[in-house]
Structure 1
Amino acid sequence: MQTDRGNPHWVRYPGDAALDAIPGEDGWPVVGTTLMQLADPDGFARRMIATYGPVYRSRSFGQRGVDLIGPEANELVLFDRDRLFSSEQGWGPILNQLFPRGLMLMDHDAHRIDRRALQGAFKPEPMKAYCDLLNRDIASATQAWGNGADRFGLRMYDAIKTLTLQTAATSFLGIPLGPEADRLNHAFTAMVQASVAPIRRPLPFTAMGRGVAGRRLMARWFTQLLDERRANPGQDMFSQFALATRDDGSLLPADVVVDHMIFLLMAAHDTITSSFTTLIWQLAQNPQWQDRLRAEALAVAGEAGRPIAHAHLGRMELTDLAFKEALRIMPPVPALPRRALRDFTFGGHRIPAGTTVGINPAYVHTDPALWPDPLRFDPLRFTADKVAARHKYAWVPFGGGAHMCLGLHFATMQTRILAHHILTRYDISAAPGYAPRWQAWPIPRPRDGLRLELRRIC
């Protein structure tokens, strides 16, 4: 058994025998099932479900855990009406060294207090300011994409990643990144990759060592910026966080602001990059939908290159459906961990307090029992009548319950603006027979950067 002596609410791991009654497997000596899960998480999950059913046991990253599969499991864990689960203790072993005190790693009252303080950054007036900045930066960057690019030579994931870092710098931080961009991008990449590193100690020359070094760089950078933002706030998100107050009127402590900012900047940067890359790949394969979204964007904005007003974003309904379908096919966070705070029963199995419990949105999103022909791109799955006919927790790319993604509306806004400026300027296609391989963990991305052709149409 293990415990965190510094946290009186931390629940001990159950003894090995406590999980013996749950079907599953422990894998190889020492490494357990870790390497199998990292190499092919989707294949591993499908094999386990086929063999053991929707509740199964495995052993990864040094501990046994239980996966619960299906929309009912998603609802139980995410809605968590009885406060059975800890997000902090679920994500902690994975992220504590890299993103400590991020909003996703907080529970119950502490989470509620900080979330309420941070919500001001996503109110209508700040969102309008972010919209203007996104329009400006995305229009400028995408205009240059078609200049001299080789046929099928643009690496779309890399281009989107660079652009989302730039837009995060201006809308989140209120500054152009300039020469700092590469250092910060490398730090972000190292931190995200370290989250699933098999070696969990930050030893030199290991992925975790590089991730923790990236974390130190980011913390120094944001700490230096914080005093400036408190003295001279702007319209950016960091200024909103710097001035955020708790229920008693006190400012959030400086280190807390820095931790939240690093986490949310990572989330906005990497998850939007992954999600929008998935959408573009689907549109390259489905030109009829690309044409429909292009026509919608032109109807809303009036012409290519013209900014999309914040008040008009809601009219991009087909773009919203297409984005939801891309998130279904490849959610940016394929699996979500928690830890059980008390014993509970699910699917006929008793699961003891202290058990690491996981749900698997990536599997549920492509379960043919819920989604006919699940690998086919069909945005019309998300019309109001079809949504009403499905289980509410069959689609959970943004999580759910108290931990629903705080940046949900920002992500949706940025996606619509990206789609407008890219699709009204370019026709996007892939070489015949091209099929990129995707890395599933920790956030999905095409291994080769996604090589596409952009043919300028305006």
Structure 2
Amino acid sequence: MATTTGTEAPELTGLPLLGSLFDLKNDSLGTFLRARRDHGDVVRISAGPPGIRTTVYGVFSAAGAQQVLAGESANFRKDNAFYQEVRESFGNGLLTSQDEDYLRQRRLVQPLFTRRRVDGYAAAVAAETTTLIEEWRDAGAGTVDVLQAMTRLSLRAVARILFGTDVDAAVEIVEDNFPDVGAYVLRRGYSPLNVPRDWPTPGNRRAATVHRALYEVCDRIIAERRSSGGAPGDGQDLLTLLVEAESAEDGSFDATELREQVLVFLLAGHETTATSLGFALHLLALHPEERKRAHEEVDRVLAGRTPGAGDLDALPYVTRVLKEAMRLFPAAPVIGRRAVEATVVGGVAIPAGADVIVAPWVTHRHPDYWEDAERFDPDRFTPEAEAARPRYAWFPFGGGPRACIGQHFSMLESVIALAMILQRHDLEAVDTVVPVAPAITLQAAGPARCRLTPRRP
């Protein structure tokens, strides 16, 4: 039974009638940082007029994040309005399912994400990265928006791993429609009042069109794969493995469940990695000494050859660069839950039914764990430095039983792609500041342009 004796949470100061509504709307990440700075590690934040006001409890310490995501994970569920909107748009896949649905899906999918299986995807990542580098060379690319480029690279890589030879059929549809779905989910997820999705408003009609396009391309590829008995070639793409996933205890995925898993893998598998890669390049472009160290490691270890899964341990500095980029720009900057029972976090009472957030964006900047937190310093992630910090001082992949199942794949893809780009290019930042805002994942509100200069290792 959760403990219920604790002090009342301090409340972030806002407007008398609207609370922190405009602060959250204009700069929610900055508002959460201010809440921790002014009021501590557990803060009550209210927004909206009386009658439809919403209240959320921000939990910002590493110990608090561990309690919400791991220690008391059963008491903090994905029952809030935002997850319901994600569920309505992307289905009841691994990202949104709960209870026995989640456990069954996880058991069926887990064998597809073993380290040995994931390491087998390295060649597909390298092939897509080679294609990108060749496109830059052929176009004589001087200035590139690295966030935009990494979004396309990550989408093509995850689509190749999911669909095998059917990459192009999916990529165009996803590129055209995912941003609209994300905006629709975000708008409804944070609105205190929504009309039903089946009302024929302009926004609902547009959303229905883009949802239909995404569903149709997934359903078509799944149906073709099932009728043909597997993928062309070696049959080892992820969709074939999903189609074949089966156990005596859990059965197998039906067509709707397959589509829901595919949509979640497309969303989580490309946007999160794109954020890490894009901001790693942006940060290296801003910091010549760190970039020089990364170049030297890549040149020494790879000596001009294409990296594979076996090279990850031999590229520790490149890995540290990526981890530091994920600290400063976590792809999931805010993670929401809803408390089932009343409990206490950090000595502060959380009532039953309360909406709760943990925020990598804030905890990754917490002065108790990170000195001069806004400074880019990959050496924060040496083994010794990592061992000295609390486990949840850094949690870009979430944590506990709902930790991201694809985190090894994300690191594999990121290290290989970053190493290959650094082999062939030097970088200089054009945009020194990139504004960001939270959506389903962290989104850039402006370009991250870099000048590329060809180099030879």
Name the TM-score, length of structure 1 as normaliser.
0.87
Which whole-Å CA distance do the structure 1 matches of 2:37 and 2:311 have between them? Answer: 46
Letter in 1 for 2:273: I
CA offsets 1:195-232 (integer angstroms, 9 cap, x no match): 321554446443x6644543332222212221332322
Question: 1:380 offset after TM fit, Å?
Answer: 1.0
Which whole-Å CA distance do the structure 2 matches of 1:210 and 1:293 have between them? Answer: 45
Letter in 1 for 2:445: R
Name the TM-score, length of structure 2 as normaliser.
0.87
1:414: which partner in 2?
413
Assess if the C-alpha contact under 8 Å between 2:427 and 2:450 holds in 1. Answer: yes
2:360: which partner in 1?
361
Which whole-Å CA distance do the structure 2 matches of 1:25 and 1:322 have between them? Answer: 34
SS of match in other structure, 2:56: strand
Question: 1:125 offset after TM fit, Å?
Answer: 4.7
Worse-matched range after superposition: 21-30 or 287-296: 21-30
1:189-228 matches, cutoff 5 A:
189-197=179-187, 198-199=190-191, 200-201=194-195, 202=197, 204-206=201-203, 210-228=206-224
1:372: which partner in 2?
371
Distance 1:90 1:345, change over 3 A: farther
Which whole-Å CA distance do the structure 1 matches of 2:73 and 2:125 have between them? Answer: 40
Residue 295 in 1 paired to residue 296 in 2? yes
2:86: which partner in 1?
95
1:317-356 matches, cutoff 5 A:
317-356=316-355
Letter in 1 for 2:217: W
Distance 1:121 1:91, change over 3 A: farther
Distance 1:441 1:27, change over 3 A: farther
1:453: which partner in 2?
451
1:35-50 matches, cutoff 5 A:
35-50=22-37
Q: Percent identity?
A: 23
Which whole-Å CA distance do the structure 2 matches of 1:60 and 1:209 have between them? Answer: 29
Assess if the C-alpha contact under 8 Å between 1:55 and 1:69 holds in 2. Answer: yes
2:174: which partner in 1?
184
State which of 115, 131, 138 in structure 1 corresponds to 2:122.
131
1:107: which partner in 2?
98
Which whole-Å CA distance do the structure 2 matches of 1:263 and 1:166 have between them? Answer: 15
Distance 1:301 1:90, change over 3 A: farther
Letter in 2 for 1:359: V
SS of match in other structure, 1:223: helix
Which whole-Å CA distance do the structure 1 matches of 2:55 and 2:202 have between them? Answer: 28
Which whole-Å CA distance do the structure 2 matches of 1:283 and 1:44 have between them? Answer: 28
Question: 1:456 offset after TM fit, Å?
Answer: 0.7
Letter in 1 for 2:185: S
Distance 1:27 1:240, change over 3 A: farther
Assess if the C-alpha contact under 8 Å between 1:98 and 1:212 holds in 2. Answer: no
Which whole-Å CA distance do the structure 2 matches of 1:244 and 1:204 have between them? Answer: 40
Assess if the C-alpha contact under 8 Å between 1:26 and 1:33 holds in 2. Answer: yes
Output the aligned Cα RMSD.
2.6
Distance 1:444 1:82, change over 3 A: closer
Distance 1:56 1:211, change over 3 A: farther
Which whole-Å CA distance do the structure 1 matches of 2:444 and 2:83 have between them? Answer: 27
Residue 159 in 1 paired to residue 160 in 2? no
Which whole-Å CA distance do the structure 1 matches of 2:449 and 2:377 have between them? Answer: 23
1:72: which partner in 2?
63
Letter in 1 for 2:128: D
2:3: which partner in 1?
none
Which whole-Å CA distance do the structure 2 matches of 1:454 and 1:342 have between them? Answer: 54
SS of match in other structure, 1:96: helix
1:280: which partner in 2?
281
Assess if the C-alpha contact under 8 Å between 2:155 and 2:270 holds in 1. Answer: yes
Which whole-Å CA distance do the structure 1 matches of 2:25 and 2:46 have between them? Answer: 12
Question: 1:357 offset after TM fit, Å?
Answer: 1.0
Worse-matched range after superposition: 444-453 or 434-443: 434-443
1:229: which partner in 2?
225
SS of match in other structure, 2:391: coil
SS of match in other structure, 1:427: strand
Assess if the C-alpha contact under 8 Å between 1:131 and 1:310 holds in 2. Answer: yes
Question: 1:137 offset after TM fit, Å?
Answer: 1.5
SS of match in other structure, 1:445: strand
Assess if the C-alpha contact under 8 Å between 1:157 and 1:274 holds in 2. Answer: yes
SS of match in other structure, 2:352: coil
Question: 1:110 offset after TM fit, Å?
Answer: 2.8
Question: 1:158 offset after TM fit, Å?
Answer: 1.4
CA offsets 1:268-313 (integer angstroms, 9 cap, x no match): 111111111111111001122222222222333331xx32122222
Distance 1:102 1:38, change over 3 A: farther
Assess if the C-alpha contact under 8 Å between 1:187 and 1:211 holds in 2. Answer: no
Consecutive unaligned residues of structure 1, counting only runs of 5 or more, are 1-18
Which whole-Å CA distance do the structure 1 matches of 2:224 and 2:364 have between them? Answer: 44
Question: 1:30 offset after TM fit, Å?
Answer: 9.1
Assess if the C-alpha contact under 8 Å between 1:113 and 1:246 holds in 2. Answer: no
Residue 58 in 1 paired to residue 54 in 2? no
Which whole-Å CA distance do the structure 2 matches of 1:180 and 1:398 have between them? Answer: 26
Name the structure where helix makes up a greater proportion of residues: 2
Question: 1:43 offset after TM fit, Å?
Answer: 1.9
1:10: which partner in 2?
none
1:386: which partner in 2?
385
Worse-matched range after superposition: 409-418 or 216-225: 216-225
Which whole-Å CA distance do the structure 1 matches of 2:384 and 2:407 have between them? Answer: 22
Which whole-Å CA distance do the structure 1 matches of 2:166 and 2:413 have between them? Answer: 18
Assess if the C-alpha contact under 8 Å between 2:104 and 2:250 holds in 1. Answer: no
Assess if the C-alpha contact under 8 Å between 1:283 and 1:290 holds in 2. Answer: yes
Consecutive unaligned residues of structure 2, counting only runs of 5 or more, are 1-5
Letter in 2 for 1:71: A
